[in-house]
Amino acid sequence: MGSQILILLLLCLLFLISSVSLSAYALCQNDERLALLHFKQSFKIDTNPIDYCVQSSIQQNSYESVQNSYPKTTSWNSSTDCCLWDGVTCDESTGQVIELDLSCSRLRGTIDSNSSLFHLSHLQKLNLAGNQFYGSLISHKFGDFSYLTHLNLSSSRLSGQIPLKILHLPNLISLDLGDSFYDYSALEIENDDFMFLLQNATQLREIVLDGIPIHSTIPHNVSSSITTLSLSYTELKGSLPSTIFHLPNLKKLFLKGNQNLTIRFPSIRWNSSLSLSYLDLGYTRCPPHIIESLRNLSRVKFLGLANCGLRGNVSETILDLEQLISLNLRDNNLEGGFADLFIKLWRLKKLFLSDNSITAQFPSSITNITHLEALDLSNNSLCGTVPSLAF
């Protein structure tokens, strides 16, 4: 009796395994498999690439994790299920391709409006960042992906006017068209479209347009739905509305490199529920006593104030920001010691204080920071001995 039960269980197990195998084989839809293969064949693989993904992270002081590039499409094979291909994700019930992540895949070539990419009509997430599509105008066909929630075409060397259809995608949550090198993208955006994007983003949460020459002001009524706003090196002008610091959902604000943008902080108490944790105002027109104005940012973890005209000792206010993980104060006029930083800001992983006028002993308190990954104190007047436990 026991052996019969065992045999029955084994038969059930074999049936389940075969069912899973059959369903997995049936997942991939043939028309989408052919579209992906045609898309693969339309590009060359760059065998000696400039690694945009690694370098862009260095450019941003490694705020985000580093991603190495490798050619994902080389493993695609017509004899295998496309839902199992590297970078491809399918809907388990329909077999339709819903996600395509070919970021940092060393693709070199052009994408035009006739590309088979646009046959993948059920895409919800599309990431082509860090490839080289030189000579490609950004196609209006990207605006036909009506199910799209995430679109990332950053650092992909696309050019031309950003089609309005993309900005009107009904389900879009995250839009990244930026250039991580900050060397001014070949993409363009109309002033009215930029205003629309920031003011009417009821669904959109993340907007990244780094390096795109916008030549505009930032509107006062930015959508309260936005969680990430990254506009570094976009040639913004005028004053940053202080109302932006009252946005309840804003977590990341990057405005670095906008030398004609004047920063304005609220004259009244900031929103006590402010969740801002990433803030980079480096190389903008910062207000006097900017650090003292940051005392409401109790949750900030990444703070960039490079070339903001800071003077004197590192303010006590900085020491109150005990959640800091990365602090960039390079290229200012700081003079005093900074030993207390290593006592109170023990969570620091990255500290950049280069190109200041700091005259001090190298602090022994640096040994308090056990997670330190990057430290730049160059072009100061430090003396003394570097503790051996610091590295």
Asked if residue 349 is part of any domain, the answer here is: yes
Q: Residue 235 falls within a domain, yes or no? A: no
pLDDT at 174 over 90: yes
In a domain, 112, yes or no: no
138-142 contact pairs (CB < 8 A, 24+): 138/162, 138/163, 138/166, 138/177, 138/187, 139/111, 139/112, 139/113, 139/115, 139/163, 140/113, 140/165, 140/166, 141/113, 141/115, 142/118, 142/166
333, 357 contact by CB (below 8 A) = yes
pLDDT value at 222 more than 70: yes
Share of the chain above pLDDT 90, in %: 62
Q: What does the pLDDT look like over 311-325, one tens digit per residue? A: 888 877 888 898 999
The answer to whether residue 287 sits within a structural domain is: no
pLDDT in tens, 377-388: 999 999 988 887
pLDDT value at residue 19: 47
pLDDT(42) > 70: yes
Provide the residue type at 152 as one letter. Answer: N
Residue 390: per-residue pLDDT? 54
What pLDDT, on the 0 to 100 scale, is given for residue 342?
A: 86
Statement: residue 192 has pLDDT above 70: yes
In tens, the pLDDT along 326-353 reads: 999 999 999 877 888 888 899 999 999 9
Quickly tell me which residue has 């046959």 as its tokens: 119
- Residue 331 within a domain: yes
- The DSSP result for 200-232, as a single string, is S-SS--EEE-TT-----PPPSS--TT-SEEE-T
For residue range 208-218, what is the model confidence (pLDDT) as tens digits? 999 999 999 99
| Mean pLDDT in residue range 226-252 | 94
Decide if 319 is inside a domain.
yes
- Kindly state whether residue 307 falls inside one of the protein's structural domains: yes
Residue 369's CATH number: 3.80.10.10
- pLDDT band with cut points at 50, 70 and 90 for residue 120: very high
Specify burial of residue 45 (Cβ count, 10 A radius: 0-12, 13-18, 19+): middle
In a domain, residue 387? The reply is yes
Of the ranges 29-38, 150-159, 291-300, which one carries the lowest mean pLDDT score?
291-300
Read off the pLDDT of residues 57-75 as tens digits, 9 standing for 90 and up. Answer: 434 444 444 567 899 999 9
Task: State residue 55's pLDDT score.
Answer: 47
Distance CA 210, CA 73 (A): 28
Pairing of strands 206-208, 381-383: unpaired
Judged by phi (left if over 0) then psi (alpha if -120 to 50, else beta), residue 61 lies in: left
pTM: 0.88
Answer with the residue of higher pLDDT: 83 or 364: 83
Pull the structure tokens for residue 74.
Answer: 């080389």
Supply the pLDDT for residue 213: 94
Residue 206's pLDDT is what?
A: 96
Residue 330 lies in domain: 298-391
When divided into structural domains, the chain yields a total of 1
